[in-house]
Structure 1
Amino acid sequence: MSRADLDKDPRDVATMFDGVARRYDLTNTALSGGQDRYWRAQTRRALAPQPGEKVLDLAAGTAVSTVELARDGAWCVAADFSQGMLRAGYRRDVPKVAADALHLPFADASFDAVTISFGLRNVADPDAGLAELARVTRPGGRLVVCEFSTPTWTPFRVAYQELMLARVLPAIARGVSSNPDAYIYLAESIRDWPAQPRLAERIGAAGWERVAWRDLTGGAVALHRAFKPA
């Protein structure tokens, strides 16, 4: 078993996710207290995929998020650089592609909408990843980033960072995950991630416009939505 470090070497990150793939969905539901389902539904509503549109779900893991996005009739493809994660979701009937977020195997302007959930934080160069997502999106197309963020209410923020991330998350991971050490990296990467306004600035700098965000679960998770200039 292995875990990545905050330098986010792509091979280390891929190997780490290969190691948690077998029980990944179960672990996420346990760690979030079932909120993962709510976050997926809110991501779909923010992206608003329409019948006939082409949608890229990057860092899709086992493709559970891709299935949610496809509920409204769009053609949705799951892309992830962990082949172990894609194999773990083989029963989910959506197209799956092994892909590096920094070198996507798609032509310019291939998609009407793109999204990445809990994956941008794991990209070695998030700004380049956001620019690559812009490259494969048609002019006027949409982006939604669903990612862990910074709780806005101070008492909740302190409890979340000092209790949930430091104690509760590792304890649950030891009982449920196939690679508990990977969730030490998870906690570290959440603490290291920029708060909502700073991420919005970085999305805009990567070529997106009309950037806005909405907090979920008290700001522990945030949805950032943006559009590619027409």
Structure 2
Amino acid sequence: MNRASLDKQPHEVASMFDKVAKNYDLTNDVLSFGQDRSWRKQVTRAVDARPGERVLDLAAGTATSSLPFTRAGAYVVPCDFSLGMLREGRRRHPWLPLAAGDATRLPFRDGVFDAVTISFGLRNVQRTEEALREMYRVTKPGGRVVICEFSHPTWAPFRTVYEEYLMRALPPVARAVSSNPDAYVYLAESIQSWPDQPELAAMLRESGWSRVAWRNLTGGVVALHRGTKPE
């Protein structure tokens, strides 16, 4: 199967990411017109990792997203369910403690992390609510969650243009720069079917998180959701 279907069978999604691991960061940079760098900087600010803190970076892929947290002095565990991504991450960053794990069954004890974050990966989890509860479980009381995910532009004319880009322009661009362009067709379809900003916020609250809020980036192309585990 070349492309994971929208029912998100874990082995299919993992296999899809295995095939794009080598050029994944470059492809994202091209397809987002460099905006992904800005989005990830916003994640770094929102997580606000401090020296000595433990940070879990879920769907970390090649672990590029984990580097700002290590530079802040935090102990970071990059975690992903794609072994291909982890192998590429190990090749690039052999000093990081990369871990293989499913977001719905995390291989960590209760309450061990000061912060848990996931960027552009929650959308690919088969059972979103279970993943949110698992993030809650492994976070310390008073700890925080930061979710950066593609969302839905709030201005209707821009939303129309954006959706046209996703379904018409993205596939040919992906064919030019990606080792598995079908994967990016799946990603475009999964963005369109993803809950909007208020819906994801409601799911966070139902999973136990408090002080839930979100901020739109690039007009809502991406949304940054945050929450806190009650003391």
State the Cα RMSD in Å.
Answer: 0.9
Alpha-carbon distance between aligned partners in 2 of 1:149 and 1:110, rounded to the nearest angstrom:
29
Counterpart check, 1:76 vs 2:59: no
SS of corresponding position for 1:69: helix
> Who is 1:184 aligned against?
185
> Who is 2:144 aligned against?
142
CA contact (8 A) 1:121 1:189 kept: yes
Q: How many residue pairs align between the two structures?
A: 229
Counterpart check, 1:35 vs 2:35: yes
Counterpart check, 1:53 vs 2:53: yes
> Who is 2:209 aligned against?
208
Alpha-carbon distance between aligned partners in 2 of 1:224 and 1:215, rounded to the nearest angstrom:
9
CA contact (8 A) 1:40 1:68 kept: no
| 1:22 Cα offset (Å) | 1.2
SS of corresponding position for 2:40: helix
Alpha-carbon distance between aligned partners in 1 of 2:205 and 2:2, rounded to the nearest angstrom:
34
> Who is 2:113 aligned against?
111
Q: Identity, % of aligned pairs?
A: 62
* Deviations, residues 22-64 of structure 1 (Å, cap 9, x unaligned): 1101100000111111111100101111110000000000001
> Who is 1:123 aligned against?
125
| 1:72 Cα offset (Å) | 1.2
> Who is 2:230 aligned against?
229
Alpha-carbon distance between aligned partners in 1 of 2:173 and 2:67, rounded to the nearest angstrom:
26
* Deviations, residues 161-217 of structure 1 (Å, cap 9, x unaligned): 12x101121111000000000111101100000110111000110110110001111
| 1:128 Cα offset (Å) | 0.4
SS of corresponding position for 1:147: strand
Alpha-carbon distance between aligned partners in 1 of 2:67 and 2:2, rounded to the nearest angstrom:
29
Counterpart code for 1:65: S
TM-score (norm 2): 0.97
SS of corresponding position for 1:52: coil
Q: 1:95 aligns with which of 94, 97, 105?
A: 97
SS of corresponding position for 2:85: helix
CA contact (8 A) 1:62 1:86 kept: yes
Counterpart code for 1:75: Y
